[in-house]
Copies of this chain bind each other. A is one copy, B any other.
Amino acid sequence: MNVKISERMAGLNPSTIREMHKYTSKPGVISFAAGGPSPEMYPVREMAAIAAELFESSGPALFQYGTSEGFPPLREALRARLLEKYGAGRDYDDLIVVHGGQQVIDLTCKCLCNEGDTVICESPSFIGALNTFRSYRLKLAGIPMDSGGMDMDALETALKTEKNVRFIYTIPDFQNPMGVTLTLERRRRLYELACRYDVMILEDNPYFELRYTGPHVPLIKSLDTEGRVIFAGSVSKVIAPGLRVGYLLAQEELVKKMVVAKQIADVHTNLPIQMFVDSYIRKYDLDAHIGEAIDLYRRKRDCMISRIRALFPPEISCTEPNGGLFIWFDMPEGLSGSDFTEYALKKNVACVPGATFDLAEDRRNRGVRMNFTVPSFEQIERGIEILAGCIGDFLKK
């Protein structure tokens, strides 16, 4: 039989990035298409020790049904860390643990949006978020970006003209896909605008602790005096992505509904892994671990940028992010990032085309996203050399 798919899902396709995994695992392919930390940074030995100890000390308690809010000590540890290190979270806020940052986006849409409502977001933006918004049949209003993040005048215009805006979605630090960071001045203005036009803010911030240069910029959540900001965090980029542990910090009243939404999505987050992560945060020095990752990723970023400067033609410039995982460049006017990445894949280098992050999914999008944290130094050098050759071929056409 042919099954009739719901209207919300009928037009949705698998994420290009998730599909790309099938190619990038082929031997000989250099992948700049990833979106996670370097596997050499996964705390495997520490987690093995924790697992052995917890199986011994907690036994059956690891395997029970847990509360939908998450493992209480982990909630406390994450909340304390956000407050003490970053000044985020007030008395009226609450923190719950979910299956990764992606689930925060899903629960937010479920609790805040009716079909046909509008979400304002950066353009380009994270494909995982865009597809979730599409699945809730939301209208996407995209705000152009420059090296300081979202354009605030364009944001104000959108807030004035768009109907039923429920929230502004932003990845303020080292944005996915562009790598740029929203300036403090703009964060303040964004918050004021959200207050003035009475909309919520979903601050999706999985990368902010991976800063390689420049001073920390305060979290938007730390500016939140009205309970207007939902902060989405994750251990995927600072511990490991396969664990699927994320969290959200938001005003209590909303969190109560998020808990109901979590119950009907998947009951609760996997308990043993929550207990492993809790133990890791309490027994080991997460800051030191992040410090090591920063040292490594900074050198990888510098390596990629220096090779780009040396080998790419001057008409192509890339973003030079202060942190995170991604560098972005645009092909020259008239050339498609999709055509380019398809060509590069034939030469065994995988990058993600800008069309993936384009609100209109337009193949003509000139952008290309490159990850520098996962490939080795040798792969970065060789890969950029190959890409420079590909660009040369393209410019000659």
Contacts and interface: CB of A to CB of B under 8 A. Distances in A.
Interface of A: 1-9, 12-15, 18, 21, 34-36, 39-40, 42, 44-45, 47-48, 51-52, 55-56, 59-60, 62-68, 98-100, 102-103, 105-106, 110-115, 128, 131-132, 135, 198, 200, 226-228, 240-244, 251, 253-254, 256-257, 259-261, 263-273
A13 B264 CA distance: 11
Nearest to A194: B1
Which residue, A59, A244, A260, has most C-beta atoms of chain B within 10 A? A244
Contacts of A269: 244
A273 B45 CA distance: 17
A371 B51 CA distance: 31
Contact of A65 (B241, B267, B270): B241
A264 B135 contact: yes
A100 B266 contact: yes
Given A1-B226, A1-B228, A45-B55, 16 more contacts: A3-B200, A3-B251, A4-B112, A6-B114, A7-B114, A8-B110, A14-B256, A18-B67, A44-B59, A44-B60, A64-B242, A102-B265, A103-B266, A128-B263, A131-B260, A243-B272
Nearest to A110: B9
A99 B266 contact: yes
A60 B42 contact: yes
A62 B198 CA distance: 43
Nearest to A106: B265
A111 to B, nearest CB: 5
A260 B13 contact: yes
Contacts of A102: 263-267
Secondary structure class of chain A's binding surface, majority of residues: helix
Contact of A264 (B3, B60, B132, B271): B132
A29 B382 CA distance: 66
Which residue, A68, A226, A261, has most C-beta atoms of chain B within 10 A? A261
B3 A242 contact: no
Nearest to A241: B65
A65 B51 contact: no
A226 B261 CA distance: 33
B244 A5 contact: no
A106 to B, nearest CB: 5
